[in-house]
Amino acid sequence: MSDDRARRPAGAPRTTAVQRVLDAHAEQLRATRGRALRVLDLGGGTGGTAVPLAVAGHELTVVDPSPDALFSLRRRAVEQGVEQRVRALQGDADTVGALVGPEAAFDLVCLHGTLEVVDDPGAAVGAAAALLAPDATLSLVVAQRLHAVLSNALAGRLERARAVLERPDGRWGEEDPVPRRFDEPAVVALVQEHGLTPVHVQGVRVFADLVPSALLDSEADRAALLALEEAAAQAEEHRLLGSLGSALHVLARRG
């Protein structure tokens, strides 16, 4: 991972919908294994994903290139009383294998908001897949292209919307804070190339990033938006909605 891409872009996807699915899946894996999970959060930053899993009793290893992010992770872990279950290592997808050791095998590996910033997404997925134990799971969250097309168009930034739609990297230009966006078929193909089978594919934040905050000035409004998001996530007959989410969450198993 090059230095200029070491930091996660602002607005990287981290949502309650993702955490809820991840928590439920972790509990299923724990029930199957009869023990707490060994979890690797690659590019885990300040611990927004890792610390809740540690609070649930799992053993976490967080690898991130930013020392500042890892400092915040350690502080958050101490505040939650789980510092003994969280190991922080400075590194990236290129060095993770050496950092965790050749015998490491994790029950769950998270790559959330990371493929956008690495130089080679395929290599990053390969590095993560290589660290999965048998019947383990990769959790992948990436920014989606079509949401950026729609949000720019609705804001009247039509040239940007067209650029996001047409450019291979899904960016509207060199000033775009997101280095790369993805489409669902490409992400599914990427995990399959590395021997993984998708078991959950869900677009998240379909509406939340489109509705102006000025229209959400009451708890009732915010509850209605959350209910709409959950309905969209569960609407199998309207899978197009998932492609419009600002992020895509994929769980893929190693057989």
> In 91-212, which ranges are E strands?
106-112, 132-143, 196-204
Structure tokens at 70: 């890892």
Residue 191 CA to residue 253 CA, distance in Å, equals 9
> What is the pLDDT, as a whole number, of residue 15?
67
Is residue 88, in this structure, part of any structural domain at all? yes
- Amino acid identity, position 59: E
Residue 177 domain-assigned?
Answer: no
We report the CATH number of the domain holding residue 43 as 3.40.50.150
Dihedral of the alpha carbons of 39, 52, 206, 69, in degrees to the nearest 10? -80
Per-residue pLDDT reduced to its tens digit, 74-123? 999 999 999 999 999 999 999 999 999 878 899 999 999 999 999 999 99
Residue given tokens 């609407």 in the structure block: 235
Neighbours of 184 (CB within 10 A): 21
Handedness of CA 185, 192, 23, 25 (dihedral sign): positive
pLDDT for res 232: 78
> Does a structural domain hold residue 203?
yes
- 49: enclosing H helix or E strand: none
In a domain, 84, yes or no: yes
Range of the domain at 193: 3-144+182-254
Lookup: tokens for 26: 């972790």
* 216 — pLDDT class (breaks 50, 70, 90): confident
Q: Residues of 187-214 as b/e, b for ≥16 C-beta within 10 angstroms? A: bbebbeebebebeebbbbbbbbbeeeee
Pairing of strands 59-64, 38-42: parallel
Counted domains in the chain? 1
Inter-residue contact 52 to 22 (CB < 8 Å): no
User: Mean per-residue pLDDT for 129-137?
Assistant: 96
Round to whole Å and give the CA distance between 232 and 252.
21
Rg (CA), the chain: 18
Q: What is the average pLDDT value for the chain, to the nearest integer?
A: 89
Instruction: Say if CB 140 and CB 250 are below 8 A apart.
Output: yes
pLDDT tens per residue across span 6-35: 334 333 334 678 888 999 999 999 999 999
Is residue 33 in some structural domain? yes
Going by C-beta distance under 8 Å and a sequence separation of 6 or more, which residues neighbour residue 27?
56
CB 203 within 8 A of CB 245: yes
Q: What is the pLDDT of residues 35-53, one digit of tens each?
A: 999 999 999 999 999 999 9
Question: Is 26 a member of any domain?
Answer: yes
In a domain? residue 161? no
Residue 204 is assigned to a structural domain of this protein: yes
Buried-state track 132-144, b at ≥16 Cβ within 10 A, e below 16? bbeebbbbbbbbb
pLDDT at 8: 40
